[in-house]
Structures are given as C-alpha cells and as structure tokens.
C-alpha cells in the first residue's frame, strides 16, 4: 500500500508507476489535506495529521485490504513530513521515500537516527533524493543528512540517497518515487 502525500498529485504520480509495470501489485492512496503548511511542517501541527494517518486512515484501509507492506511517499514539504513520520512513529511504515525533503534542519542529527535504529522493532527502508538543480536549502540539508548517515552503523535502517543530475525541485518527484519503489 503506497500512501501518497499531496494527494491532489496522486493520480499523476501513480500513472508513472503504472508505466513502469512493477512486478508486484501496488495500491495507491492519495492523501489530500486541508492545510499543507499546518499538516506537513514540523514547526506547525504535523502530529495531528500523523495521528490521523496512524489511528484512522491505516486501520480503515487495512480492514478492506490485506497489506504486506506500507510505503509513505512525500515531496518537498511532504518529503520533510515523510522523514518526520519515520522519526516520530518508528516502524509505522516499512519504507519511506522522501523526494526533495524540506525543511529538515532539525532532522539530520546523527543522534536522532541512532535512537531511531534502537527503537525500531523491524527493518525499514529509507530513500531520499533531490535534483542537482534543486533549491539551495534542499541540497544543503540533504547533503548534511547523507554525510551524517554515512558515519553511522545502523542495524534496522537501510537507506539510500540519490541526486538526480539536471533535475530541479519541480521535476525530481516522479523519478524519486519510481526509484524509491525499486529500492
């Protein structure tokens, strides 16, 4: 089950997945929220949105479908929220795909990932990416997160970072989603 944040773009993004003809069946759920800044930004009220996902949306979906894997995808603010979700609800999803995540300044510290790794009861995959022509803050903090993760030995977090040559903040989402699913 693929949960696509910024659900108003879910059909467009899911169509890219269909074109790739993945071997496994994938069901996509687009999450449209009423206030993107409030729901996605760590300095606002993302806990309420995350609680809704955990306590209402996922149980409702999983009553109707036999789910083998939960995947969360977000781009830009939603990419930052994807990382926020991974840190604050360890193991809620099996895979986290964060495309051009912003703002993540407070979420790059090695201690956060060391503690997260200790608190996880299962292995998770974490994929984050951005374009080589992305916004300066996205590249700066993405590089810092990458370098910080390189210094760690993690048992439960399997991660990968990719920088897409020639892509920018508005063109990196589809390739990130496809490659994140393949990872």
CA distance 41 to 106: 11
The answer, yes or no, to whether residue 122 has pLDDT greater than 70, is yes
The pairing of beta strand 124-131 with beta strand 95-99: parallel
Write down all domains in the chain, each with its CATH number in brackets. 2-182 (3.40.50.1820)
Strand order in the sheet with 71-75: 28-31, 2-5, 71-75, 95-99, 124-131, 157-164
- pLDDT beyond 70 at 22: no
> Looking at the predicted structure, is the pLDDT value of residue 23 above 70?
no
Q: Give the pLDDT mean for 40-66.
A: 92
**Contact predicate 65/29, CB 8 Å:** no
- Give the span between the Cα atoms of 38 and 32, in whole angstroms: 13
Does the structure show a pLDDT above 70 at 21? no
Backbone phi and psi for residue 58, each to the nearest 5 degrees, phi listed first: -60, -50
pTM above threshold 0.85: yes
């Amino acid at each position: 089950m693929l949960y696509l944040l910024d659900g108003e773009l879910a059909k467009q993004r899911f169509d890219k997945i269909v074109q790739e003809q993945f071997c496994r069946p994938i069901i996509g759920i687009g999450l449209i929220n009423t206030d993107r800044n409030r729901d996605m930004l760590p300095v606002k009220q993302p806990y309420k949105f995350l609680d809704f996902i955990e306590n209402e949306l996922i149980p409702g979906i999983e009553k109707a479908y036999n789910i083998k894997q939960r995947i969360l995808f977000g781009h830009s603010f939603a990419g930052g929220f994807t990382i926020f979700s991974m840190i604050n609800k360890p193991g809620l999803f099996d895979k986290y795909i964060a495309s051009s995540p912003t703002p993540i300044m407070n979420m790059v510290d090695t201690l956060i990932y060391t503690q997260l790794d200790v608190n996880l009861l299962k292995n998770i995959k974490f994929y984050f990416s951005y374009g080589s022509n992305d916004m300066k803050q996205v590249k700066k903090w993405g590089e810092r997160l990458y370098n910080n993760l390189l210094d760690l030995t993690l048992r439960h977090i399997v991660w990968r970072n990719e920088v897409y040559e020639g892509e920018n903040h508005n063109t990196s989402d589809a390739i990130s989603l496809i490659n994140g699913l393949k990872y």
